[in-house]
Amino acid sequence: MNSAAIPLYYDGKTSAGQPVDIITHEKEMEFHFTFPENGFHVVKEPITINYTGCTTAHVAEHLYVYINGSGAEYLAIPFTHPSYLTIRDNIIHANPSWFGRLMNMHVGVLAFVFVMLLVGGYFAIANVVPWVGLKIISPSQEKLMGDKLFQAFVDIGETDSQKTRLVNEVAHALELSKTYNIQVTVLQNKEVNAFALPGGRIVVYTGILKSMKSGDELAALLAHEASHINKRHSLRSLLRSSAVAILISVALNDASGIASVLVENAETLRNLGYSRNLEREADASGMQLLLDNHIDPIAMRNLMLRLQEAYGKAPDMIAFLSTHPATQERIDNANAFAKKYRSREYAVNAVVSKNWDLIKN
Ligand SMILES: [Zn+2]
């Protein structure tokens, strides 16, 4: 073999390179030393070098392999040497760049990373859009939106105009909102359900009126729904569930698209489930509204018990429990709240009790 083509190993201690035979393996290479010294063949123990941690440089027709980062211990392989390419590729493979590492990953891991990026992006959008929306949408715009949504609902059931008038009188006899004009519509529907639209509208089904036993329970329902409105829970949920579509409308600079996106979500809103936290907030704020109106907040707990009873009788008919789940925790909280104010004097609201008698019949 031409001596120029022999790899030289520099051990970092002696300045002269030692010729080596190299045996390459998948993860490491072996250097075998055998060279004449003073006329005898001296055989040194071979050494094994792992590719991981090796760096390479191409200098003057040699591949320099730096073995442990110090630069003192290295191997110089002539380009003409048969193992030059194998060693170079093995080192690249053992020490990939971040991109190389990504490309070496299993397809499943890559798919997982991709899905996590998508999910993360979605959650970012689902949180940022409502946050911005709540800041820029005024109560009057909110009302327009609620009216549009309401138009999409009118076909769902016949309006009970007499009960609508009676329940509205109850709502207006109470102080339910400082910002919004609360407007109630009673729809003829056996479902035990009620929901709030952004901007002040409350829709009450005759089914839920039937399950109640007192005017105070009706006041509790209105206070709970009005709290969802006051705290802009419907708007928030709507913005959240439409976040991606809204963002697309914004990106396309299509302002009218945003309104229609929200209206298209009308059906979503009807079946809208609030998070536990929002329900807790609406209960607490609703009971405070009852207190402010001199109504015993125990009515909130009674309403929840009534809904639970109705659930036992006809589970399919009770949508209110699924959109506002009446968990034992909520009943316990309502109970605890009412207990705190048990010793208060509560007045009978004349409109509430008079209208309740008429609604009941
Ligand atoms: Zn609720």
Per-residue pLDDT of 72-98, as tens digits, reads 899 999 999 988 999 999 988 888 777
d(C-alpha 146, C-alpha 143), whole Å: 5
Q: What is the distance in A from the centroid of ligand 1 to the CA of 233?
A: 9
> Which residue, among 182, 185, 179, has the nearest Cα to 154 in the 3D structure?
185
Task: Return the amino acid letter for 219.
Answer: A
Mean pLDDT, rounded, for 308-321 = 67
Q: What is the distance in A from the centroid of ligand 1 to the CA of 276?
A: 9
Q: What is the distance in A from the centroid of ligand 1 to the CA of 285?
A: 11
Q: What is the distance in A from the centroid of ligand 1 to the CA of 228?
A: 7
What CATH code is assigned to 3-95? 2.30.29.30
Confidence at residue 136, expressed as pLDDT on a 0 to 100 scale:
83
Domain ranges of the chain: 3-95, 98-136, 138-360
Q: Residues with beta carbon < 5 A to ion ligand 1? A: 282, 324
The set of residues, in sequence order, having a beta carbon less than 8 Å from that of 175 and lying 6+ positions away, is 289, 292, 293
Q: What is the distance in A from the centroid of ligand 1 to the CA of 224?
A: 6
For residues 269 and 140, which has the higher predicted lDDT (pLDDT)? 140
User: Per-residue confidence at 153, pLDDT binned at 50, 70, 90?
Assistant: low
User: Per-residue confidence at 255, pLDDT binned at 50, 70, 90?
Assistant: low
Q: Where are the alpha helices (DSSP H) in the chain?
A: 84-94, 98-104, 107-136, 139-151, 161-173, 206-211, 215-230, 233-241, 243-251, 255-264, 266-270, 276-292, 298-313, 319-323, 328-340, 350-360
Q: What is the distance in A from the centroid of ligand 1 to the CA of 115?
A: 33
Q: What is the distance in A from the centroid of ligand 1 to the CA of 305?
A: 15
Mean pLDDT, rounded, for 111-137 = 80
Per-residue pLDDT of 166-225, as tens digits, reads 999 999 999 999 999 999 999 998 888 888 988 999 999 999 999 999 999 999 999 999
> Which residue, among 249, 167, 260, has the nearest Cα to 206 in the 3D structure?
167
Confidence at residue 146, expressed as pLDDT on a 0 to 100 scale:
84
Q: What is the distance in A from the centroid of ligand 1 to the CA of 226?
A: 9
Q: What is the distance in A from the centroid of ligand 1 to the CA of 86?
A: 68
Q: How far is CA 37 from CA 43, 44, 295, in A?
A: 10, 11, 107
CA dihedral 308, 299, 283, 357 (to 10 degrees): 90
Strands 28-37 and 40-50, bridge-based pairing? antiparallel
Confidence at residue 1, expressed as pLDDT on a 0 to 100 scale:
47
